[in-house]
């Protein structure tokens, strides 16, 4: 998700923004002397090299709840000290003081969310159900602290004397408090706090249901002939999955995107494709204990009520108040302007597939479970491009080295694997990141590439600690987490082109964090508007297809020969292939998200709303949304991307336009454009308005023309 995500986390955010930190958690060290509450690895200052590292080897999940209470108590004392300060409020004794609070709580969150995302267990599920409402309640107690808000607001008339970064930080705190209801009356504050706690519980239940459906349901194949069409690496991965489930003599296709999509693309057995497809698209929608349909209307109703209490027409209007798009109408306008062109392209794609199916005598009518399978056949027929052939050159470890090359060329970064820090799972590797010229430490990058039981699906970036200069020169610690399928022991892992793009995308988020060069942690790295945060990661996807990467790092897994020019040419020629499918699949989810949250207090039946809305949109019957409503974790596992899934398209308008700055300059590695990308996008975090930052990089306002061109849509 990409992901996921892919999110703002300011320590004093409203619960809506706060809960999104599950995929973007901050933890930081400090030179400040802190009171010692106990010898507790969950909350004590991190020790060791590299400004300290998370003590993953000392964590016990039974310590989560008592440690949380201790960390919250410390922060309460720190907040009380600020509000009791008899001095006139100013930036230093209020805003900077707030930035220095809650260090123990940040460290707790940095570890806690690693466990909930990567190593879920029934015991942890129970702990999470307790912790999340407490988080929400605690956050509201700070947001609704009238004395604290009065101090923040009192500084408003003195902001002229502040630096640009200080003004931005004050604006972020003030905006956060106002949007969370700091100006509401006591009764309304009490109700909003209750809503936030209810939502925290519902988000947790939604996530756990989705994870259980992905872990407990799977497709078991018992006859070897049903593996026809699958590659050796896919068969090996399915055998390993069966082995892990004690299914001797069988093959198991897991109920995750990384397993299902390759299966739908390659499996020749149509009935099995349908079975796998239905299993996957019905996650959270099976009428059993893991069904999410009853949770969704509760979440929507609570969000609508909260928005009204906060003075907004709908939850969508609330969520976009401080984003680049500003209003849901503006975001919806972009989505709807692209939709008709994508629909036309899908019809053309389906026609091509049906013709090929008829030509080969398959005697079928293209259905949703056929789309990927026949799209691949059309790709071979029209472009002589076989994904299985491309995959032989996309070996995970080589691509990782390619990403390091990209980082060195663009941002002067050197990655060196280290083994002197603890990790939370044996799969995880750690790399020290240094500046090539000065050898100065930039940060650490943790890489957790493989799927496993208890790990949420998809791919994402996490910050364990933000870069900052407020408490000393503190370097960042970031991670990338993926779900690639293991094959046989010591065999190379081959991935699809789409998965390779996701790998580069998430690494883009990591580089956004590593490049950060700001003073205040709340403005560091990826702490930018959610409709801007995907821009840096999306533009870095484009380096995958550069000849410098492909010729040096796309090596055949057996012969070690570089990808031949003829295959490179085929990839380039087919770059716009299947863009109708990709665009409609995404847009359908984005439109449903926005329309659900524009419905206000309307009582929602999730399945019915999805069905009727897509019918009105003339959704092609050969497709489904990328994230059907009962499994739409982006918008129902927390508030992070609620009424915000449009952000991916909004950011892609920027990334397509920004890429043209490189092509106009003569290439992807142009040093002048690369420096502007670093100076105004990757290094500045949230220290300036996102539209201003983009204009400084590009020299003009973006348009969607480059996006439409890149996707091959015919625009008159």
Domain ranges, ordered by start, for the chain:
15-210+292-319, 217-281
Query: What number of CA atoms fall less than 13 Å from residue 413's CA on the CB side?
Result: 27
Residue ranges for the chain with pLDDT beneath 70: 1-38, 716
CB 521 within 8 Å of CB 28? yes
Q: What is the model's pLDDT at position 716?
A: 59
CB 377 within 8 Å of CB 356? yes
CA–CA separation, 411 and 515 (whole Å): 8
Cβ-based neighbours of 561, under 8 Å, separated by 6 or more: 555
CA–CA separation, 706 and 713 (whole Å): 10
* DSSP output for 356-393: HHHHTT------GGGHHHHHHHHHHHHH---HHHHHTT
CA–CA separation, 93 and 81 (whole Å): 10
CA dihedral 388, 391, 392, 398 (to 10 degrees): 180
CA–CA separation, 694 and 669 (whole Å): 19
CA–CA separation, 205 and 126 (whole Å): 10
CA–CA separation, 713 and 341 (whole Å): 6
Q: Name the nearest CA neighbour of 140 among 85, 95, 199.
A: 199
Q: Strand ranges (DSSP E) for 28-71?
A: none
Residue 301 backbone dihedrals phi, psi, to 5 degrees: -65, -40
Q: Locate tokens 């390779």: which residue?
A: 500
Buried b (16+ CB within 10 A) or exposed e, 223-252: eeebbebbbebbbbbbbbbbeeeebeebbb
CB 525 within 8 Å of CB 689? no
Q: What is the model's pLDDT at position 487?
A: 78
CA–CA separation, 325 and 691 (whole Å): 10
CB 37 within 8 Å of CB 10? no
Q: What percent of the chain has pLDDT over 90?
A: 89
Q: What is the model's pLDDT at position 5?
A: 35
Cβ-based neighbours of 163, under 8 Å, separated by 6 or more: none
CA–CA separation, 413 and 675 (whole Å): 13
List 466, 506, 541, 585, catalytic entry: 506
Q: What is the model's pLDDT at position 266?
A: 96
CA–CA separation, 512 and 463 (whole Å): 11
Instruction: Pick 15-210+292-319's CATH classification: 1.10.1370.40, 2.60.40.10, 3.30.70.2740, 3.40.50.300.
Output: 1.10.1370.40
When computed from its CA atoms, the radius of gyration of the chain, rounded to whole angstroms, is 25
CA–CA separation, 32 and 77 (whole Å): 16
CB 520 within 8 Å of CB 165? yes
CA–CA separation, 339 and 342 (whole Å): 5
CA–CA separation, 581 and 20 (whole Å): 29
Q: What is the model's pLDDT at position 24?
A: 39
Cβ-based neighbours of 536, under 8 Å, separated by 6 or more: 508, 509, 511, 512, 526, 681, 682
Q: What is the value of pTM for the model shown?
A: 0.89
CB 594 within 8 Å of CB 643? yes
Is 261 annotated as catalytic?
no
Residue 166: strand, helix, or coil: helix
Residue 185: strand, helix, or coil: coil
How many C-beta atoms lie closer than 10 Å to residue 96's C-beta?
Answer: 15
Q: Strand ranges (DSSP E) for 385-459?
A: 413-418, 429-435, 441-450
């Amino acid at each position: 998700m990409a992901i996921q995500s892919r999110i703002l986390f300011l320590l004093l955010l409203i619960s809506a923004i706060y809960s999104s930190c599950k995929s973007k958690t901050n933890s930081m060290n400090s030179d400040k002397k802190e009171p010692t509450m106990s010898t507790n690895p969950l909350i004590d200052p991190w020790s060791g090299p590299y400004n300290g590292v998370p003590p993953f080897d000392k964590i016990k999940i039974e310590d989560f709840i008592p440690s949380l209470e201790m960390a919250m108590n410390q922060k309460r004392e720190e907040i009380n000290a600020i509000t009791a300060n008899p001095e006139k409020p100013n930036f230093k004794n209020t805003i900077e003081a707030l930035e220095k609070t809650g260090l123990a709580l940040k460290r707790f969150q940095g570890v806690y969310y690693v466990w909930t995302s990567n190593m879920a267990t029934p015991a942890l599920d129970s702990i999470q159900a307790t912790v999340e409402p407490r988080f929400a309640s605690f956050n509201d107690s700070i947001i609704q602290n009238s004395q604290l808000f009065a101090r923040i607001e009192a500084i408003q008339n003195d902001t002229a004397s502040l630096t640009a970064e200080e003004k931005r930080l004050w604006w972020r705190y003030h905006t956060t408090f106002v949007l969370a209801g700091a100006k509401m009356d006591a009764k309304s504050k009490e109700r909003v706090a209750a809503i936030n706690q209810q939502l925290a519980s519902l988000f947790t239940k939604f996530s756990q249901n989705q994870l259980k459906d992905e872990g407990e349901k799977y497709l078991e194949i018992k006859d070897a002939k049903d593996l026809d069409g699958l590659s050796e690496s896919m068969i090996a991965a399915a055998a390993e999955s069966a082995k892990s489930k004690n299914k001797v003599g069988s093959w198991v296709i897991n109920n995750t995107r990384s397993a299902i999509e390759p299966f739908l693309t390659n499996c020749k057995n149509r009935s099995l494709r349908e079975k796998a497809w239905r299993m996957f698209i019905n996650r959270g929608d099976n009428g059993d204990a893991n069904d999410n349909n009853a949770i969704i209307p509760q979440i929507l109703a609570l969000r609508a009520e909260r928005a009204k209490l906060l003075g907004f027409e709908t939850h969508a209007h609330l969520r976009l108040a401080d984003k680049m798009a500003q209003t849901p109408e503006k975001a919806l306008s972009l989505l709807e302007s692209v939709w008709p062109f994508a629909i036309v392209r899908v019809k053309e794609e389906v026609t091509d597939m049906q013709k090929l199916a008829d030509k080969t005598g398959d005697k079928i009518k293209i259905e949703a479970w056929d789309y990927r399978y026949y799209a691949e056949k059309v790709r071979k027929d029209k472009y002589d491009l076989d994904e299985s052939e491309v995959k032989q050159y996309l070996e995970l470890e080589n691509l990782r080295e390619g990403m390091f090359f990209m980082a060195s060329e663009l941002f002067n970064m050197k990655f060196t694997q280290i083994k002197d820090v603890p990790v939370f799972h044996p799969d995880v590797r750690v790399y020290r990141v240094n500046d090539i010229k000065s050898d100065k430490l930039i940060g650490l990058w943790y890489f957790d590439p493989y799927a496993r039981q208890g790990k949420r699906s998809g791919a994402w970036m996490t910050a364990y600690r933000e870069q900052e200069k407020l408490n000393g020169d503190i370097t960042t610690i970031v991670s990338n987490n993926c779900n690639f399928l293991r094959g046989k022991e010591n065999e190379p892992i081959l991935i699809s082109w789409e998965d390779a793009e996701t790998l580069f995308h998430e690494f883009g988020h990591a580089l956004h964090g590593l490049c950060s060069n700001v003073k205040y942690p709340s403005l560091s790295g990826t702490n930018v508007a959610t409709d801007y945060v995907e821009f840096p990661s999306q533009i870095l996807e484009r380096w995958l297809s550069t000849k410098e990467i492909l010729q040096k790092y796309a090596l055949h897994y057996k012969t070690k020969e570089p990808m031949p020019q003829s295959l490179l040419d085929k990839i380039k020629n087919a770059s716009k292939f299947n863009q109708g499918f990709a665009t409609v699949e995404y847009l359908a989810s984005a439109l449903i998200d926005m329309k659900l949250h524009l419905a206000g207090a309307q009582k929602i039946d999730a399945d019915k709303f999805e069905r009727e809305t897509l019918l009105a949109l003339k959704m092609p019957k050969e497709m489904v949304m990328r994230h059907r409503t009962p499994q739409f974790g982006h918008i129902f596992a927390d508030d992070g991307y609620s009424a915000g899934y449009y952000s991916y398209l909004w950011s892609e308008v920027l990334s397509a336009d920004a890429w043209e700055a490189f092509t106009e300059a003569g290439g992807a590695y142009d040093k002048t454009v690369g420096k502007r990308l670093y100076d105004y996008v990757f290094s500045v975090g949230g220290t300036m308005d996102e539209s201003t930052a983009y204009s400084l990089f590009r020299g003009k306002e973006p348009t969607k023309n480059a996006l439409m061109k890149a996707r091959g849509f015919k625009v008159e």
